[in-house]
Amino acid sequence: MDLRNHFILMADYNLRMNDQVYDASSKLDAEKLRADDGAFFGSVLGTLNHILVGDLLWLSRFALHSDRYQSLNSLSALPKPKALDETLYPELALLVKARKFVDKTIRQWLDEEIRTDDFNRSLVYANSKGVVCERDFCELLSHFFNHQTHHRGQVSTLLHQQNIDVGVTDLLIEIPDLIKD
């Protein structure tokens, strides 16, 4: 498996799934978007904000991994999360705009700036409590995408409880079929 291509595949999956989840979420009125439905981050809106918070925290750490990662610097225009449960965008329309910008930036970063040898180095960063950690960069990037998938699954469940179908959520759609006709 080519790791760079794998993560580009994950970014494409991320783009599709965020489009589907946000489209489905837009069918809820403002009250239902904010309703505490017992999810870890309370509501659909709270969970969608948490996914973005996590992305922004990780991408700011990833930006330090290489001077080549210039596209990630564009994210500095967005709010700087201070807590994992922070609501960066209380309105869905603003959250959608930020989400699309972040997803486009992730795809650009992976497509244009990341190199295979970047995966073979560790990343030193401070976590949200200020504790300095050093971990395998490739594993952290896997965690980054897994975190999104995990919480989108929670949103999908919350939407399903409101009789809103998110659509097909399988990664399989992005995996190319190697059989040629």
Q: Which of 145, 134, 137, 146 is nearest to 117 (CA)?
A: 137
pLDDT digits (tens, 9 = 90+) for 73-110: 999 999 999 999 999 999 999 999 999 999 999 999 99
How far is residue 20's CA from residue 98's CA, in Å, rounded to a whole number? 15
pLDDT digits (tens, 9 = 90+) for 137-155: 999 999 999 999 999 999 9
pLDDT band, residue 1 (cuts 50/70/90):
confident
> For the chain, which domains are there?
3-173 (1.20.120.450)
How far is residue 41's CA from residue 178's CA, in Å, rounded to a whole number? 40
Three-state DSSP at 67 gives coil
How far is residue 60's CA from residue 144's CA, in Å, rounded to a whole number? 12
